[in-house]
């Protein structure tokens, strides 16, 4: 499958103190230390995985995230980044299973729902993609990528009024999904809104020159020749 343009805004909880402080000098509770040490080591493994993923060492990143989960099975960020890495490897069923676990571990985090939406979308499960993006946007109405994937899901189901509305929200919020800008540009062209098509085209020139050329050929070249 062709590589996907993906930008997910992730808010990872910062590490708190390793134990509660009840006075000026309080020793850690020995009974809690193994659990807290495992959680800290799990977070460190996630950070290692993120570095490896940034270097495109995806198999090594998978091992780091899996190690984090062995230490802390409910580490929602480990599940989430594991899902992203599976997306990088075009292993979409495994990505969807990982995103599902990230949602179960952190149901109030909209980024986790957006990840699950993405995996539904690339697997062609558009009704579930729409549902999960709606949940992400219920939690965070200003999430540009949630609106982008929601609009693309509606577009694949030919629900164009809903698709256009969602994609307009996405572009207004500055989505970096080139597919969202392209799809909206094509719909504007079919409505004869050349000025809006040009705006989509100029933005695509910045985001994805290949998609910009595609939009030009599909929506602008014929009008220019005419």
pLDDT tens column, 165-218: 999 999 999 999 999 999 999 999 999 999 999 999 999 999 999 999 999 999
- Comparing 158 with 27, the larger pLDDT belongs to 158
pTM, to two decimals: 0.79
Chain mean position to CA 220: 30
pLDDT tens column, 101-147: 999 999 999 999 999 999 999 999 999 999 999 999 999 999 999 99
How many helices, marked H, and strands, marked E, lie in the chain? 12, 0
Under a CB-based contact definition with an 8 Å cutoff, are residues 36 and 19 in contact? yes
SS3 content of the chain, % helix, strand, coil (to 5): 70, 0, 30
User: Which pair of structure tokens corresponds to residue 100?
Assistant: 């599902």
């Amino acid at each position: 499958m062709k590589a996907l343009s993906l930008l997910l805004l992730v808010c990872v909880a910062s590490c708190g103190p390793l134990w509660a402080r009840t006075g000026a000098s309080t020793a850690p509770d020995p009974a809690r230390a193994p659990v807290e040490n495992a959680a800290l080591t799990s977070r460190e493994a996630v950070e290692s995985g993120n570095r490896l993923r940034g270097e495109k060492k995806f198999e090594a990143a998978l091992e780091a995230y899996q190690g984090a989960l062995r230490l802390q099975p409910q580490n929602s960020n480990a599940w989430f980044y594991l899902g992203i890495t599976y997306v990088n490897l075009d292993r979409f069923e495994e990505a969807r299973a990982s995103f599902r676990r990230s949602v179960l571990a952190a149901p109030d985090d909209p980024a986790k729902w957006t990840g699950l939406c993405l995996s539904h979308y690339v697997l062609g499960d558009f009704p579930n993609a729409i549902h999960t993006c709606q949940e992400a946007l219920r939690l965070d109405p200003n999430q540009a990528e949630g609106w982008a994937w929601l609009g693309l899901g509606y577009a694949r189901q030919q629900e164009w009024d809903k698709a256009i509305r969602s994609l307009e929200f996405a572009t207004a919020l500055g989505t970096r999904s080139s597919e969202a800008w392209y799809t909206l540009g094509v719909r504007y062209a079919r409505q004869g809104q050349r000025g809006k098509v040009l705006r989509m085209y100029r933005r695509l020139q910045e985001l994805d020159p290949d998609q910009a050329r595609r939009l030009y050929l599909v929506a602008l070249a014929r009008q220019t020749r005419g």
